[in-house]
Amino acid sequence: MMISSSTFVSFVITLGFLSNMADSLQFNLESGGVGKCIMEDVRGDSMSVGKYHIVNPNEGHPLPETHNLTVKVTSPTGASYHLAEHVSSGQFSFHAMEAGDFWTCFLVVDHNPKITLTIDFEWRTGVAAKDWSSIAKKGTVDSMETELKKLQEVITSIHEEMFYLRDREKEMQELNIGTNSTIGWLSFLSLCVSLGVAGLQFWHLKTFFQKKKLI
């Protein structure tokens, strides 16, 4: 199978992007606060996996039982895809049936005195969400065939992403056209109202001056 240089470059760039997506994110949260939400634009009909845990500042010692999280994953329409309460770690996986901005929200259970916890979070979607080592083991294939399968999945993902972005661009264009049309009608209506008010004022002043016999 021959691979063009442009396809290979796209493959390398995409793999680098996917590698960055797989990197974990760390952030601090204070107990009893408003929490923190992380957004990910997920394409419809795609896999999404995530895992999280509270970083233990004292290795070799267990976390206090009071160090807990509440974690919730919601879809663009508000549907709940994952909910875990009073946990120190966890993971989720789901098949997104809708496209858009998915949110993962973290909240540290209230504690007295207040504490600050460090959260480690990893969220992968699309091709990056697949367990390629497991696929290679189950299929008893060698590393080269696994890489070719991965390449095929990446190319397919790029192709689907292009169509997805084109649809989003079309939606934005239709929204802009509708907004411009609405603004145009409002401007015309505002002009008509202004002219009407100006006419009424002119008529009122003319009548007033006529009554006073000034004109």
214, pLDDT greater than 90:
no
* Residue 128: per-residue pLDDT: 64
User: 40 φ, ψ to 5°?
Assistant: -135, 130
Question: Which range, 1-5, 49-53, 147-151, 162-166, is most confident?
Answer: 49-53
Q: Say what the pTM is.
A: 0.55
Residue 72 covered by a domain: yes
Residue 196 covered by a domain: no
Residue 193 covered by a domain: no
Any idea what the CATH number is for the domain that residue 101 is in?
2.60.120.380
Please state the rounded mean pLDDT for residues 33-57: 88
Task: Look at the chain and report how many structural domains it folds into.
Answer: 1
137, pLDDT greater than 70:
no
Domain that holds residue 28: 5-130
Residue 98 covered by a domain: yes
* Residue 142: per-residue pLDDT: 60
Three-state secondary-structure class, residue 108: strand
User: 11 φ, ψ to 5°?
Assistant: -65, -45
75-129 confidence digits (pLDDT tens): 999 899 999 998 999 999 888 888 889 999 999 987 778 888 999 999 988 766 5
Residue 152 covered by a domain: no
112-121 confidence digits (pLDDT tens): 788 889 999 9
Beta bridge partners of 72: 83, 105
Q: Which residue has the higher pLDDT, 45 or 84?
A: 84
Record the tokens describing residue 157, joined without a space.
């993902």
Residue 191 covered by a domain: no
Residue 35 covered by a domain: yes
74, pLDDT greater than 90:
yes
Record the tokens describing residue 127, joined without a space.
């091709």
Residue 90 covered by a domain: yes
Beta strands of 55-166 (E only): which ranges?
A: 69-74, 80-87, 89-96, 100-108, 116-125
